[in-house]
Amino acid sequence: MTANQEFPKLVLFQGVLPAADVYRPAGDRIVSGDPVQSAQNLFQSPDGRFNSGIWSGQPGTWRVVFTESEFCHILEGVIIVRGDDGSEATFRAGDAFVTPAGFTGTWEIVEAAKKFYAFYE
């Protein structure tokens, strides 16, 4: 780097964080409940393809179609992920998994949940 260039800064996932964006899945994807969600995207690569942050969601079930590959580390709550292929997995605090691009199925939040995420499109 030259004297005029800035060094990339570390991205912290604790302390004072930006306000979260609050949203719901599209109405035609909601299966049950009111799965209100929020995300604090704390990092985005210059090309916009890699993102990482903190997500939380309230109880409910909705259909998912993943166009990106996403790594999740559950911090709180209980989530059940069901694939259209018949697979099913339950995740709790401390669990980690990857949902690959092309995955389709449902996410069910059984207990209010929070996770670290990192996804690549």
- Could you tell me if residue 77 is inside a domain? yes
- Could you tell me if residue 25 is inside a domain? yes
Mean pLDDT to the nearest integer, 61-85: 98
- Could you tell me if residue 3 is inside a domain? no
Residue 70 is part of which domain span?
21-120
Domain count, the chain: 1
Residue 5's pLDDT is 74
Mean pLDDT to the nearest integer, 33-60: 97
Q: 9-33: per-residue pLDDT in tens? A: 899 999 899 999 999 999 999 999 9
CATH of the domain at 31: 2.60.120.10
Give the pTM. 0.90
Asked whether 81 and 104 are in contact (CB, 8 A), the reply is no
- Could you tell me if residue 12 is inside a domain? no
Residue 3's pLDDT is 63
Cα–Cα distances in Å, from 40 out to 13, 26, 86, 88?
10, 19, 31, 27
- Could you tell me if residue 1 is inside a domain? no
